[in-house]
Structure formats: C-alpha cells, structure tokens
C-alpha cells in the first residue's frame, strides 16, 4: 500500500473542513466549531491534548450503517468492532443506537458490560483467548464466541456447562491493498483457520454437545479502499456450506487525507449484499463489524503549539504526539492538520510531537498558516485507534475524551494525572 504524501498545492478551506466531522463550521473569527462548540473554549475548559468527539456525527454514522444494512438484508445486524474506540461512553452510545458490539479481550468485554451493552449482542474475538477471558464471556452470556483455533474449542468444551453459540473464523487467502500490519485474510495470517482447517473445525463442532455452531466469520483487514476483496471473501465462506449466521467482518477504510477516496457506506453495503444474494442462503443472518469507518471521522484531536523551529523543514512541536496517536509511527498513516483559529493555507511544516523519539511525527509537510507558540492545532479523523493505542511514553498523561453535541460539551474520560501513573506501584 502506498504511503499518502502531502499535497503540493494548498487545499481549499472547504476541502480541509471536509475532513472534519459533518457539520463542522467556522465562527465569525474564523475558528473551528465542532458539535456546536468553539474549539478555543474546549481547549480552555479541558486542556490539550484532548480528543473531541462529535456525538451527533457518531450517532448518525451508526444509524447510516444499521439502517442501510437492514434496508438491503432484513435479517441482519451491525456489530461495532470496538477495538477501534474501546471507551465506555462509546459503547453506551452505540448500544443506545441499537448496535451489537464486537470485543477482543477481557478488557473490552468489561468496558462493554460497564457501558450497558446487552451481553446477548456481544461477539467475542481473539486469536489467543485465555481460559479466564473465555470464562468471562460464557458467564456474562455472550451471544457469540468466535472460534479462532482448535484450542478455543478445547477450552470452551471444558468451560461451558450449558450451550454456547459459536462461529468459526475463516482465513480465505485474500490479501487486500492495505498496510501489512492490518491485513488479516491472507495465507499465513495469525488469525482464523484456512479453508481446509475450517472444514475440520466445522465437522468437530457439529458433533459437540456444548458448542452450537451458528455459522462462520471472515475478516480480511482494515483501511481497505476497494470493495472487490469484500465480495471475494463472501464467496470464499459460502463454499463452506449453509449456516444460520454469516459474519462478514469489517475493514472499510476511512478518509484521512485529501486524496483518499474510500467507498461510501452504501457502496460497501451494496457490494456485500449483492455477493450475499448470489451465494448465501436467503434466510441467513448477516452480521458486519465496522470499526475504523464507524468512528474515525467523528474524532478530532486538539493540541497546543509549544515551539516553532524555523528551517528546512520548519518543525512545529505540540504538547502531544505518539502518546495519543501511534497510527503514524505504526502504520505510516498520514493525517492532515490546521491551525484551529486560522484554518487552511500556509506553508509546509513538519508537525511533530513532544516525545523523545525521531519517529514522533504527526504529519510531515502539512500546511499551517503562521503557526506560533500557544496556537491551537486541530487534527481531524482521530476517532479510530488513537484512544485505543494511547500510552504513557515519557510519562505522558493520556488525554481526556470530550463529547460535544448541540453546543454542549462533557468529558466522558478524564485526563490522567501523575497519581494515575503511580497508582499500580507496590511500596
């Protein structure tokens, strides 16, 4: 997958605003307003860095997915792939919108339950689920546990006392055009079972007195900008037989840069459902698991400029970085940015973080208009994985999460304190 590069000509202000949550506008002084809240006021109230979430935009995205799938295939449901944003308030919001939840690990399971998610709506994933995690899922009443390997079957046979519905995760041998770290459907993936091994697992589960085989699951990767591989994945699992449930995973890409052109939600759903109509039983339930494409565009990170170092290139350093956004260092993902009170235009700069690491670059060659110490910087499309991958490198405090809607703002995750850093120390 090619790494996105900076545009050679300044994008228009309209193009830049198009990367922010729908409904983002400028106030009379030219400052960004997200969810009806001026970002200057948000920074004063909650500090920086801060992850701002447009609540209405997130709810609208959830409804767009759920309504769009239901209109195309009545017996269906949308399960949010919560590793993209495992935050109690996000679980609660999406459950209120009627979505199911996909969790990977005991922590996500605990957060989902704390957020009021119906356990029966949970889909439990993981390539290395421990006895403890499986026991948590079974005792909570998780609706579906995804079998990733034969050890999952052995463990569940020991743990389950009644009946547990399961799916078999299939590795279809499909490599989409995406970063290798987030490609999961190819031969040699650590996830799932190859088609021959999946058939073995299916045969074994059909003979189990404790594990009820409801169907199969397939997921080929993340940040996929072409619908064709999704259709091939549907066709691959169809060859395994007729089942009550086909979980078709997620993977639709988000628009991070001016040049990104991901398929729309509707184009993605059309591809999946058209393939399903050709090869899947008409009465089967279809489940999809959008993650990145569900939450990415609703999030914006605010930073404060700490230093500006003139030169070739000019370095604009902010009070966050790879502690709150590892996507750049891990995957080479490009982000755009702007001075939040002087939106658009400017000269190319290297927007960098405060961490003691040369790889701590938020955006290389991004255009910023006359950046100065104390300015607010807004980086759009940070709703996916930035919170998930946040860390305490250099003892940095992880930022708060702030929901905005109709001009009202509320923190749903507070900023860490130095006391939090030491809370687990044993005297």
Residue 60 burial (10 A CB sphere; 0-12, 13-18, 19+): middle
Mean pLDDT over 327-338 rounds to 93
pLDDT at residue 420, as a whole number = 97
Extract the tokens encoding 190: 């650590």
CB atoms within 10 A of CB 408: 11
Residue positions annotated with a catalytic role: 356
Please identify which residue in the block is written with the tokens 């041998």. 173
Going from the C-alpha of 59 to that of each of 16, 89, 209, the distances in angstroms are: 22, 12, 41
**Cα 247 from Cα 148, distance rounded (Å):** 13
Can you tell me the distance from the alpha carbon of 152 to that of 217, in angstroms, rounded to the nearest whole number? 15
Residue 369: count of CB within 10 angstroms of its CB: 16
Q: Which tens digit of pLDDT belongs to each residue from 313-326? A: 999 999 999 999 99
> 3-state class of 144 per DSSP?
strand
Chain-centre distance of CA 204, in angstroms? 33
The torsion region of residue 192 among left (phi > 0), alpha (psi -120 to 50) and beta comes to left
User: Using one digit for the tens of pLDDT, what is the confidence trace for 366-420?
Assistant: 999 999 999 999 999 999 999 999 999 999 999 999 999 999 999 999 999 999 9
3-state secondary structure of 297: helix
- Residues 280-300 pLDDT 10s: 999 999 999 999 999 999 999
155, 157, 158, 163: CA torsion to nearest 10 = 120
Query: Per residue in 23-71, pLDDT tens?
Result: 999 999 999 999 999 999 999 999 999 999 999 999 999 999 999 999 9
Pseudo-torsion of CA 307, 347, 353, 56, nearest 10°?
Answer: 120
The tokens for 323 are 């502690």
In this predicted structure, the answer to whether residue 181 has a pLDDT above a threshold of 70 is: no
Residue 180's pLDDT is 65
End-to-end CA distance of the chain: 48
9-13, 125-129, 211-215, 332-336: the lowest-pLDDT one: 9-13
Please report the pLDDT score of residue 12 as a whole number: 84
* Alpha carbon distance 27, 7 (integer Å): 26
Complete edge-to-edge strand list for the sheet that includes strand 37-38 = 25-26, 32-34, 37-38
Q: Above 60 in pLDDT, residue 166? A: yes
Structure tokens at 239: 């060859």
What is the reported pLDDT for 337? 97
- Max mean pLDDT range (15-19, 169-173, 329-333): 15-19
So what's the pLDDT on residue 178?
59
**What is the average pLDDT value for the chain, to the nearest integer?**
94
Of 301, 414, 418, 306, the residue nearest 353 (C-alpha) = 306
* Residue 180 backbone dihedrals phi, psi, to 5 degrees: -60, -30
Beta-strand ranges (E) seen in 219-264 are: 245-247
Longest CA–CA separation in the chain, Å = 70
pLDDT band, residue 97 (cuts 50/70/90): very high
Backbone angles phi, psi at 177, to 5 degrees: -80, 90
DSSP 3-state assignment of 13?
helix
How many other C-beta atoms lie within 10 A of the C-beta of residue 74?
A: 9
């Amino acid at each position: 997958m090619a790494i996105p590069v900076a545009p050679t000509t300044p994008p228009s202000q309209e193009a830049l605003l198009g990367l922010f949550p729908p409904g983002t506008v400028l106030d009379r002084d030219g400052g960004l307003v997200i969810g009806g809240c001026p970002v200057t006021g948000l920074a004063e109230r909650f500090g920086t860095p801060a992850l701002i979430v447009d609540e209405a935009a997130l709810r609208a995205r959830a409804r767009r997915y759920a309504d769009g799938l239901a209109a195309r295939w009545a017996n269906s449901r949308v399960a949010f792939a919560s590793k993209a944003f495992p935050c109690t308030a996000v679980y609660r919001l999406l459950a209120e919108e009627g979505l199911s939840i996909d969790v990977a690990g005991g922590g996500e399971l605990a957060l989902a339950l704390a957020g009021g998610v119906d356990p029966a709506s949970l889909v439990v994933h993981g390539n290395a689920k421990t006895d403890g995690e499986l026991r948590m899922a079974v005792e909570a009443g998780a609706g579906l546990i995804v079998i990733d390997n034969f050890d999952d079957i052995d463990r569940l046979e020991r743990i389950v006392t009644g009946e547990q519905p399961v799916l078999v995760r299939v590795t279809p041998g499909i490599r989409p055009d995406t970063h290798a770290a987030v490609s999961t459907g190819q031969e040699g993936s650590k996830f799932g079972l190859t088609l021959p091994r999946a058939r073995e697992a299916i045969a074994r589960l059909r003979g189990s007195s404790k594990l009820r085989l409801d169907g199969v699951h397939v997921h080929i990767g993340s940040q996929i900008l072409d619908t064709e591989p999704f259709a091939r994945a549907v066709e691959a699992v169809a060859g395994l037989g007729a089942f009550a449930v086909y979980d078709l995973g997620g993977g639709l890409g988000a628009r991070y840069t001016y040049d990104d052109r991901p398929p729309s939600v509707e184009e993605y759903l059309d591809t999946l459902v058209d393939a399903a109509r050709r090869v899947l039983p008409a009465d089967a339930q279809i489940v999809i698991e959008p993650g990145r494409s569900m939450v990415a565009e609703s999030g914006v990170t605010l930073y404060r400029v700490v230093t500006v170092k003139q030169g070739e290139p000019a370095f604009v350093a902010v009070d966050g970085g790879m502690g709150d956004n590892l996507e750049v260092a891990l995957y080479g993902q490009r982000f755009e940015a702007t001075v939040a009170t002087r939106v658009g235009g400017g000269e190319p700069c290297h927007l960098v973080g405060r961490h003691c690491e040369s790889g701590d670059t938020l955006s290389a060659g991004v255009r910023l208009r006359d950046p100065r110490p104390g300015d607010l910087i807004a980086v759009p499309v940070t709703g996916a994985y930035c919170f998930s991958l946040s860390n305490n490198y250099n003892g940095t405090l992880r930022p708060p999460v702030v929901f905005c809607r109709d001009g009202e703002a509320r923190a749903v995750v507070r900023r860490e304190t130095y006391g939090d850093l030491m809370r687990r120390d044993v005297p």
